[in-house]
Amino acid sequence: MAFSGTAEANLSNYSEVLKVFYLPAIQEQLNHATILADLIETNEKDVSGKQATIECHYGRTTGTGVRADGAALPDSAYQKYKTATVPMRYNYGRVAFTGPTIAATRTEKGSYSRVIDSEITGVVNDLQREINRQL
């Protein structure tokens, strides 16, 4: 029997015996930075009741400026303030997972990540980003 063409071992022929290589950990693809929230000073301990009242300094005086010697001084002005009333609101995060998923992810042999740790850590990060977005 004559054979025409080349007989070679190539990747296509060997695809059934090739293994899949997995990196040792989950590679994070999300940005978890909360730049604005990190800059704002917070005080959650002293807040209670149905609303908070905050005195806000929102405007500077316009009574400043550069003048030549003997020139008229700028008109006087004043600092500007406004009272803000903020109703109490609450941010929540919720996770859910099944018993079989907990069992299937309990060791490194069965999963790259444990469902309880992954979901709790993830919802905390996501809630921080949501608060940062709200700010």
Arithmetic mean of pLDDT, 24-47: 82
Average pLDDT, the chain: 88
Tens of pLDDT, residue by residue over 89-113, are 889 999 999 999 999 999 888 888 8
Q: Contact 37/132 with Cβ under 8 angstroms?
A: yes
Percent above pLDDT 70 for the chain:
96
Please give the biggest Cα pair distance in the chain. 114
Angle at 121 between CA 90 and CA 32, to 5 degrees: 80
DSSP 8-class letter at 15: T
119, amino acid identity: E
